[in-house]
Amino acid sequence: MSSRAMPEYQSHKKVWALKIKSIQFDGDLPENEGQESDGSATFIAEEDGFAPIKLSPEYIHKHKPQAGGYYVVYEGGYKSWSPADVFEAGNTRVR
């Protein structure tokens, strides 16, 4: 095994993102009381003017998003989640 440092890279990806103000999980909705949840959720963005965004059960299971973090969409359509401190340290808003 080598003890060399791994190569260092600087990201230059273009992403679209919204900071998550709140998340409502399907299983927490009163109308679903006593019913099995499908595992989905809906989030409200911090920034005004955006409709609530539905998150699939697969997204929730994989990324475990939390309020205060960012919903991120990459070129090509891949969707992810990032904690606020990590996202804000590596990204600058351009529009």
User: Residues 83-92: pLDDT tens digits?
Assistant: 999 999 999 9
- What would the two tokens of residue 52 be? 């609530």
> Which of the pair, 5 or 85, is modelled with greater confidence?
85
pLDDT score of 35:
67
**How far does CA 50 lie from the centroid of its chain?**
15
Using DSSP's 3-state secondary structure scheme, residue 35 falls into coil
What's the CA gap between 16 and 84, in Å, rounded?
14
pLDDT tens digit string along 26-58?
Answer: 877 656 556 677 889 999 999 999 999 999 999
What's the CA gap between 64 and 61, in Å, rounded?
6
Domain ranges of the chain: 15-90
- What would the two tokens of residue 60 be? 């929730």
* 8 Å CB contact between 67 and 25: no
